[in-house]
Amino acid sequence: MVRILREAAGENLRAGAPEAARRQLARALREPPDFDERAAVLYELGCASLLTEPANTVNHLRAALAEPFEDPALRQGIVIRLAQVLSHSDRLAEASECLAREIPYTQDVRGRLRLQSEQFMWDAFNAAEPDSPARSRRLAKLADRLGGRDLTERYVIGLRAWDACLRGEPVDVVLHHAGRVLETEFSWAYADRGFEVPVLVAMVHMYADRPERAEELFEAGTAEFERQGWRGAHLSFAYSLRAYIRYRRGRLAEAEELARAGLRLAERVGRRTPVHWYAIAILVATLLARGRVDEAWELSREHEYGEPFPAAVVFPDSQTVYAELLLARGQAKAAAAELEAVDRRLSPRGIQNPSWCPWRLHLARAVAAEDPARARELAEEAVRRARAFGAASGIGQALRVAAEVAAPQDRRALLEEAVEVLSASPAAYELALALAALGEERGDAELLLRAVLAARACGADGLVASATTALLGLGGTFPCGPVPAAAPTTTG
């Protein structure tokens, strides 16, 4: 009976029915299984409930490890799955320790590499990792000598691409490693793998100004999740991060709709888990871009969005988005305090790419009134690092904010370059912001009209209103009459 139930559960998992599989495996445990089969049943039950019932999954997998069994492959599978669910419960240090304990006792070379790759991944997500630069050096040394001959090697190379993106290595280097991963088929739903590295490989394309490629990868991955019946954290991550890609492209109404879908799924997993942080941060950032500051604040209060921030590295960075929300509410000192904390958390880890986390730019805006010299220094450093990475969207954003805090005589040249750079990027909302700023700086009605039209296309209602007011102040008109005020919109 246990054998029949396990086979049926496997069929249900392959058919995208994990709930049925969980019921069958729970029934198999009550049968009960033979003494030497219990660990395998517990492991399969943990796999079937992975990321939909995190607490139960941890219990199943810890119980499996406590059983006496001899199969090294089974033990490795249990340890990997346990580390995965611990990580998605925001227990990154435990996940890394779980893998570290197992690596020295793994005799098989390929098995040891697999465990090392998993530890590299969870350490990369751990905001409190004690020696991130050393881990990066080890990862680069390992990845650069691997040929990508199997899935484990390609996962290591994918982690190398993500690490290079966080640290702001040139875009060409990042895309080179991502391309090595994608030379052959790269599924998001391998039976014995997590989805994290495929997600990271897709996201580096977004940060490198290849959002269309990122969307293609996410669409394929989301379809795989749905076919597998993975409707918990897996699908929530997919919706939320697709929302973030749309946000970065300036397609804000679509971003809001996807972010709300991701949040609904995240609520099933549990509040203050990494998947919940992703959904809230992306939705808050989108609402701010749409000009709905009060709604973003109410959402943050409803979902307890604030201290303590997650142990996991999430993107966008939760504390940075919270500081941006404070800035939008006029709380510059509180925002500066949060951003100083972001600096203390990320800089020692070598995470310096403003295209990934623009904390320097937000901090420059927060301190500009009281310490303009420091604000300019912060913005200039962000511009330098954005140029080193080489993504036009990041360079343009940095130039726009640098102009905002620059001396009056320097603003026009910075904004002109920002518009030029952003015009060649996929960042439509950033371009609209730069056009509006340059139009106001020059007193140029034509530029302000372009800003209004660009902001409307993005769904950036707040920017539409402010740019329209500036345009009307210059006596500007649409070709068919005066520019109308922005109409409020509702979505989601």
Residue 197 to residue 445: CA distance in whole angstroms: 47
CA dihedral 299, 303, 306, 310 (to 10 degrees): -130
Q: Which residues share a beta bridge with 481?
A: 478
In the chain the domains, ranked by start, together with CATH numbers, are 1-114 (1.25.40.10), 317-426 (1.25.40), 438-492 (no CATH)
281, containing H or E segment = helix 274-289
Structure tokens at 470: 């500036």
One-letter identity of residue 398:
A
Per residue of the chain (492 residues), give pLDDT as tens.
Answer: 999 999 999 888 877 788 899 999 999 999 999 988 999 999 999 888 765 677 788 999 999 999 988 899 999 999 999 998 898 788 889 999 999 999 998 989 999 999 999 999 999 888 778 788 999 999 999 999 999 989 999 999 999 999 999 999 999 999 999 999 999 888 888 867 878 899 999 999 999 999 999 999 999 988 887 787 766 677 888 999 999 999 999 999 999 999 999 999 898 877 888 889 999 999 999 999 999 999 999 999 999 999 999 878 888 999 999 999 999 999 999 999 999 999 999 999 999 999 999 999 999 999 999 999 999 999 999 999 999 999 999 999 999 999 999 999 999 999 999 999 999 999 999 999 999 999 999 999 999 999 999 999 999 999 999 999 999 998 866 544 444 444 443 333
Q: How far is Cα 9 from Cα 43, in angstroms, rounded to an integer?
A: 12
Q: Are 428 and 250 in contact (CB under 8 A)?
A: yes
Predicted local distance difference test score (pLDDT) of residue 475: 81
Return the pLDDT at 52: 67
From CA 418, how far away is CA 403, in angstroms rounded? Answer: 9
Helix (H, G, I), strand (E, B) or coil at 478: strand
Closest CA to 240 of 226, 261, 219: 261
- Cα-based distances in Å from 206 to 162, 354, 389: 11, 14, 13
**d(C-alpha 196, C-alpha 53), whole Å:** 18
- For residue 339, give both structure tokens: 């951003």
